[in-house]
């Protein structure tokens, strides 16, 4: 059984969705990110020296960190939700995972930081919108990031898009990125995604 270290609504929602989509047996362990403590009082620094979620503990004790790696680890072990390693399709998947992590996820992060000045936030938000525009264009002719099949990259993209609704971000997908709005609705309707949202108290 896997153990997923998570915080509700954080980027750990992505591996949470993947565990459900892949039909894996898992336990959720909530992390208090401010105190770096797990819900059972354990020291989270000992689980992930970076002090951030997600972190995944496999049944054999292997600890896997970094969201894009965790989702590929789960997919490869389960033999679903990612094209085979070494194929051209797999490189497309890795390209999207990298884009989501470095251009989108880390584009959102400073906007959540109360210490970042509004002037800087406006510049960063403009840049993030440009990056979202690239994915919106891709979604004009694709059901999912890799085409017709849902993959682990979709769990991650869905997770970061869910942040657009937070008041501190306030990006109206329907108005500014209609293809992403349709994609978000499509992914939200997947039973595993709805279950993950419910389990984290997000729906
Ligand atoms: N490089 C990490 C970043 C993960 C990350 O940014 N996690 C955030 C939540 S979305 C977090 O736990 N932040 C708390 C902290 O950094 O103290 C990954 O890709 O998994």
Per domain, the residue ranges of the chain are 2-80+193-199, 88-190
The total number of residues shown for the chain amounts to: 203
**Of 71, 70, 61, nearest in space to 1 by CA:** 61
Distance 194 CA to ligand 1 centre (A): 23
Q: Which CATH superfamily is domain 2-80+193-199 in?
A: Glutaredoxin (3.40.30.10)
- Measured from the Cα of 109, ligand 1's closest atom is 6
Helix axes 13-21, 191-199, angle to 10 degrees: 130
Residue with the two structure tokens 């609705």: 185
Answer yes or no: are the C-beta atoms of 55 and 48 closer than 8 Å.
yes
- Please state, rounded to an integer, the average pLDDT across all residues of the chain: 97
Ligand 1 within 6 A of 13 CB?
no
pLDDT band at residue 203 under the 50/70/90 scheme: confident
Q: Above 90 in pLDDT, residue 201?
A: yes
Give, in degrees to the nearest 5, the angle at Cα 181 between 116 and 143.
125
pTM beyond 0.95: the answer is: yes
Give the CATH number of domain 88-190: 1.20.1050.10
């Amino acid at each position: 059984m896997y153990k997923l270290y998570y915080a509700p609504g954080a980027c750990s929602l992505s591996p949470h969705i993947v565990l459900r989509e892949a039909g894996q047996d898992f336990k959720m362990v909530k992390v208090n990110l401010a105190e770096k403590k797990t819900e059972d009082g354990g020291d989270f620094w000992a689980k992930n020296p970076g002090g951030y979620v997600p972190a995944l503990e496999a049944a054999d004790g292997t600890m896997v960190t970094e969201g894009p790696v965790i989702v590929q680890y789960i997919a490869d072990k389960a033999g679903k939700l990612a094209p085979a390693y070494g194929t051209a399709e797999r490189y497309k998947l890795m390209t999207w995972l990298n884009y989501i992590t470095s251009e989108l996820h880390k584009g959102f992060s400073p906007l959540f930081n109360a210490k970042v000045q509004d002037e800087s936030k406006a510049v960063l938000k403009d840049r993030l919108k440009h990056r979202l525009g690239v994915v919106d264009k891709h979604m004009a002719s694709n059901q999912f990031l890799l085409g017709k099949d849902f993959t682990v990259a979709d769990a991650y993209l869905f997770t970061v898009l869910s942040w657009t609704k937070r008041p501190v971000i306030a990006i109206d997908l329907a108005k500014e990125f209609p293809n992403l709005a349709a994609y978000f609705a499509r992914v939200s309707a997947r039973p595993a995604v709805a279950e993950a949202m419910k389990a984290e108290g997000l729906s």
